[in-house]
Amino acid sequence: MSRRRQIYEGKAKILYEGPEPGTLIQYFKDDATAFNAQKKGTINGKGVINNRISEHVFTRLSHIGIPTHFIRRLNMREQLVRQCEIVPIEVVLRNVAAGSICKRLGLEEGDPLPHTLIEYYYKDDALGDPLIAEEHIACFGWASPEEMQDISSMAIRINDFMSGMFAAIDIRLVDFKLEFGRIWDGDFSRIILADEISPDGCRLWDMKTGEKLDKDRFRRDLGGEEEAYQEVARRLGLLENADGGPGEVLDMANHRSRMRNTPPKK
């Protein structure tokens, strides 16, 4: 597929014009950022793995009736997705105390919360994605009350499903971020799940050892980022398929990584 016009570049992905009206090509980068891009680096092969994990999760969510922007995977790093108007709100679901909530409320990392907590953040890197209330969302018209009802109900369903999906492979879903978008049919719109779901936006802990299997390894300089992302994919069954499946995709990515570090033949 020939490269098309770039529409947008974010910290972890690039969006290109799609082959058909109303579609985009979503390209996954290896770039890693933390603390609102104050820390930057690279996790080799991250884009390939995140592409596969996000495809897997979005496909399974569609099977339980969650409408998403995902159409199909195109290659190792690209997906075909529906073009949508992104709601400028990051939705964070928390099952266990970790990250910023510990600093804000003086909680101990790892403490289970009394129940799942939904938080909303205004999507603006220049402002540091500030925490907001539903009253802010209504006041500034970022989403209608009906849209927020759809967003919150979908978010709870997604959390319930993903918590079970990860628990089945001995991973605790500590918290994660979701983004939603609008698609239009004439004067009417509906909310769909957008962006990605991967170890970039989820805190995932091994249920037996507590080992972190997500981007916190990069944030905290723990090392082993590549292995952690690969472990999540392996447990989801995405590393061992053959005949053009994800295992072959990741092997090709690792092969290219090895080739980059091999001196040229004389």
Domain boundaries, the chain: 85-218
Could you please state the CATH topology (level 3) that the domain comprising 85-218 is classified under.
D-amino Acid Aminotransferase; Chain A, domain 1 (3.30.470)
198-209 residue pLDDT tens:
999 999 999 999
Alpha helices in the chain (DSSP H): 46-63, 100-105, 134-140, 145-167, 216-219, 225-235, 246-260
Name, in order, each residue with C-beta under 8 angstroms of 124's C-beta and a sequence gap of 6 or more.
88, 130
Residues 128-149, mean pLDDT to the nearest whole number: 97
Residues 204-216, mean pLDDT to the nearest whole number: 98
The model's pTM is: 0.88
Give the residue carrying structure tokens 């058909």: 20
Q: Percent of the chain, pLDDT > 70?
A: 89
Residue type, 28: F
What letters, b where the CB count within 10 A reaches 16 and e where it falls short, cover 223-257?
A: eebbebbbbbbbbbebbeeeeeebbebbeebeeee
pLDDT category of residue 35 using cuts at 50, 70 and 90:
confident
CA–CA dist 194, 182 (Å, integer): 9
pLDDT category of residue 36 using cuts at 50, 70 and 90:
confident
- Indicate if the pLDDT at residue 26 is higher than 80: yes
Contact, 140 vs 154, CB < 8 A?
no
The pLDDT value recorded for residue 157 is: 98
Name, in order, each residue with C-beta under 8 angstroms of 94's C-beta and a sequence gap of 6 or more.
101, 113, 116, 117, 118, 119, 174, 175
- Indicate if the pLDDT at residue 12 is higher than 90: yes
The pLDDT value recorded for residue 241 is: 46
Q: How is residue 143 written in tokens?
A: 């989403």
Residue type, 118: I
If you average pLDDT over every residue of the chain, what do you get? 91
CA–CA dist 59, 16 (Å, integer): 21
CA–CA dist 216, 253 (Å, integer): 23
- Indicate if the pLDDT at residue 172 is higher than 50: yes
Residues 235-252, mean pLDDT to the nearest whole number: 59
The pLDDT value recorded for residue 240 is: 60
- Indicate if the pLDDT at residue 259 is higher than 70: no
pLDDT category of residue 250 using cuts at 50, 70 and 90:
low
Q: Which of 172, 157, 196, 148 is nearest to 63 (CA)?
A: 157
Contact, 48 vs 42, CB < 8 A?
no
Contact, 47 vs 256, CB < 8 A?
no
CA distances in angstroms from 249 to 28, 117, 151, 203, 254, listed in the order given? 14, 36, 33, 25, 9
The pLDDT value recorded for residue 104 is: 96
